[in-house]
Structure 1
Amino acid sequence: MDFARDNCDVVSGVIFQPVSLTGRISFEELMDIRYTTSDLKEAINKYTKGAINIFYPIAFTAKFTKLLAWFDDMPPFSMTSHADCGFANIIIINNKDEWEPLENFFDVEGLVRWSNQVWDMVENKEVPKPTGLLKGINLSDFGQLASKIGNFVDDMTSLGYRQAIKAYYFAGAARFIKSPQKILTSKTYQAFARLVMAPNLNSAGKFFNDRNLMISSMHFQDAYNFDLDRVCRCLVHYGVID
């Protein structure tokens, strides 16, 4: 993680792989070397001094990634593995080169719920209804971005469906930024703003090269933690000769 932090201009994240056991082993040996995602979460939390204490299942952003692909007119992409198969989160590297949790910047669960809602609209071919969308939002907090949000309703009639959904998503996503007054000074907010204003897979990739690191894990199954529910939703298959 230190290497990733020190080279965050070219490193997008770190994906850990807890031990997977193959072949016969005694119960005592199993207990001695078994290392699970729960152990990894605890170790990461301790190492970052509590900067990452919330971890999300891989499938948490399944609809969000589909939405980004659709915005870019690309085939939908999502990872829908079982919740026990792995986790991911984004950690911010601040100006002091210190770890900082993503949750300090965004209401993550609220933003993902909003993304899910908009994707459901796309699947059902629903037309956005902007009335009341900006209720409770102080546009003055968003500086130069306020005009883009404020003009949303007026622009709706002249946009195609894909562009209309983009504008609708952008306006709604503004509610989940915790400190909008910092949007012009924070690299994290700026990278996110670019992602939302041009929500596609390319801008998502650039987000991870601007002092934002993905910390993730994928835990293979073995003979000692085999779960059929996980197998049914597995993304990786491999076989060995015992």
Structure 2
Amino acid sequence: MIIVQKSALPKGLPKKTTSLCPVCKKIIPATIYEENGKVMYKKTCPEHGEFKDIYFGDVESYLRLERWSVDGIGVNNPNTETRKGHPFDCGLCPYHLSHTALANLDLTNRCNLKCPICFANANAAGYVYEPTLDEVKKMLKMLRDEQPVPTPAVQFAGGEPTIYPHFLEAVKAASEMGFAQVQVATNGIRLAYDPSFAQAMVDAGMHTVYLQFDGFKEETYIKARGRKDMLKIKLLAIEHCKRTKPKPLATVLVPVIVRGINDDEVGKIVDFALENMEVIRSVNFQPVSFSGRINQEQRLKGRYTIGDLINDLADQTDYIEGPEDFFPIPAAAVLSELISQIANEPKVAFTTHPHCGSAAYLFREDGGRVISLTRFIDADGLLDEAQTLIESGEFENYGKLRGALKAYQLVKRHIDTSKAPKGLNVLSMLKSVFLTQNKKALGEFHWRTLFIGAMHFQDLYNYDLERVRRCVIHYTTPDGRIIPFCAYNTGPEFRVEVEKKFGMSIEEWQKRNPGRDIMGRDLYPSELPA
């Protein structure tokens, strides 16, 4: 195989893994097992005792997701050596199994909100982290230099990245370096207050806005974001993204789901996205992770997982039926490896741990009916057959033309065209993708679909080192490291180390930026447009 390998992860329950003690952060063994229909997680620190948590809220979903797991082969040019042992050598180290599929680049830890649930806020930290534009360009170049696959996507994050003083220059630099996807993770405030800002981002090279969107209830935003007019702000931001030329600026809704706060609105959020598919391309749910010390009773009561999300979506919608509609993120790596073997060159592969994330595709017919991909594609059969083929290496010997024809025939075998959405010519699209390499056809397919994703980032209580080792979402830092998401924000928590190393006091920032508002409110109008 070219870019993936057969997964070394054990399947089924119970199983052993390794974790960290939530108190001392020493490496300790952990057990994953079934209890009352849930997947549980138990670990014991010799010094701080036993910790028990819910690893996955539904056994059926858990077992299904690990069915199509594959591992990556790591990177050819690691940035750090293995010295202290995983996960304390992150950078990426030779032990890491996945290349960077999406890089987060924090432009600042300043923000124009003071969210109670946020871990990346200058006001809370007491210092400002804000790399220079030259440092940003060096980090971008490091990502593009990664081998065997240059990082294809970068997401500017923070803090609130849109208040970074050189934001549009950073977007332009990323675009000029050849990133296929330039994204921003934003609360939408600047987009809402400044109607021209979305177009300015498009002109600089922005592809996708990841918009924090926690539902429709005012009390949700008060509890999560500390501000009650946030829904109005979100809707204005979406409207301004819809108006950009030559086409709407693709927007992804990113709801952080908290049990008892907004888990009753997950279906309504997807309904809203389906009604606005001309601009909203995806909903990427993020079950909340716990920070700080929290007792076991509170954790077990409040823990919300991907399994819970899938069940809630099935209960709250009439187009999602259950676990059979969802697939693990590495299922995409099975198909991308197929393409790598046909092209005889490495393509980006989402070789993440099968329980890090899950996804489904929804189609809206011309008449408005919503259909899941699994209603007309035998995705289980397709993935099973594709996985067998890539593990055999059969496609590596076919050559591009014969391989493309075989891939087309493979997919065609698992499609029931009589059940396909009206107005979607699936076979014609497949011919364009596989036989003529027409990327436009693939783009049209994506614009007819809504991607539903779920990514459950870890905290110290459910921390699994096997997940960290396979992470594909990484942070890049000014000192030349690339660090997995759940090592940067939790576990070893490299974020604090990096921000303190390259940060400055708030007082120093104010001296260097006289007359500037630390919350960035001087960058856009003071009133929302009518």
Task: Tell me if both proteins adopt one fold, taking TM over 0.5 as the criterion.
Answer: yes
Q: Match of 2:278? A: 9
1:82 is displaced (CA, Å) by 1.2
Query: Structure 2 CA distance, aligned partners of 1:200 and 1:52?
Result: 33
Q: Match of 1:216? A: 453
Query: Structure 2 CA distance, aligned partners of 1:102 and 1:170?
Result: 17
Letter in 2 for 1:126: N
1:32-111 alignment, distance < 5 Å: 32-49=301-318, 51-53=320-322, 54=324, 55-68=326-339, 75-111=346-382
CA contact (8 A) 1:68 1:200 kept: no
Q: Match of 2:424? A: 187
CA contact (8 A) 2:389 2:395 kept: no
CA contact (8 A) 1:10 1:209 kept: no
Query: Structure 2 CA distance, aligned partners of 1:69 and 1:88?
Result: 22
Rg comparison, structure with higher value: 2
Q: Match of 1:165? A: 403
Matched position secondary structure for 1:226 = coil
Matched position secondary structure for 2:347 = coil
CA contact (8 A) 1:72 1:200 kept: no
**Change in 2 beyond 3 A, CA 1:20/1:183:** closer
**Change in 2 beyond 3 A, CA 1:17/1:32:** same
Query: Structure 1 CA distance, aligned partners of 2:462 and 2:351?
Result: 20
Query: Structure 2 CA distance, aligned partners of 1:202 and 1:74?
Result: 21
Query: Structure 2 CA distance, aligned partners of 1:206 and 1:231?
Result: 34
Q: TM-score under structure 2 normalisation? A: 0.35
CA contact (8 A) 1:118 1:169 kept: no
Q: Match of 1:25? A: 294
Query: Structure 2 CA distance, aligned partners of 1:26 and 1:93?
Result: 44
Gaps of 5+ in 2: 1-269, 474-483, 497-530
Query: Structure 2 CA distance, aligned partners of 1:198 and 1:26?
Result: 57
Query: Structure 1 CA distance, aligned partners of 2:387 and 2:439?
Result: 17
Structure 2 residue 498 is the aligned partner of structure 1 residue 229:
no
Looking at secondary structure, tell me which structure has more strand per residue: 2
Q: Percent identity?
A: 29
Q: Deviations over 1:2-52 (max 9, x none)?
A: 232122233332111110111111223323432111111111112222524
CA contact (8 A) 1:68 1:201 kept: no
Q: Deviations over 1:81-103 (max 9, x none)?
A: 11111111112222332322212
- Higher relative contact order, structure no. (Cα contacts within 8 Å, ≥ 6 residues apart): 1
Query: Structure 2 CA distance, aligned partners of 1:164 and 1:62?
Result: 21
Q: Deviations over 1:89-140 (max 9, x none)?
A: 112222332322212211112222343355456677323xxxxxxxxxxxxx
CA contact (8 A) 2:365 2:371 kept: yes
Looking at secondary structure, tell me which structure has more helix per residue: 1
The alignment covers a number of residue pairs equal to 207
Letter in 2 for 1:178: D
Matched position secondary structure for 1:42 = helix
1:62 is displaced (CA, Å) by 0.8
Matching residue within 415, 420, 430 for 1:177: 415
**Change in 2 beyond 3 A, CA 1:167/1:220:** same
**Change in 2 beyond 3 A, CA 1:42/1:193:** farther
**Change in 2 beyond 3 A, CA 1:35/1:49:** same
Query: Structure 1 CA distance, aligned partners of 2:421 and 2:375?
Result: 16
Gaps of 5+ in 1: 128-160
1:169 is displaced (CA, Å) by 1.5
**Change in 2 beyond 3 A, CA 1:216/1:113:** same
CA contact (8 A) 1:58 1:81 kept: yes
CA contact (8 A) 2:340 2:347 kept: yes
Q: TM-score under structure 1 normalisation? A: 0.72
**Change in 2 beyond 3 A, CA 1:29/1:174:** same
Across the aligned residues of Structure 1 and Structure 2, the Cα RMSD in angstroms comes to 3.0
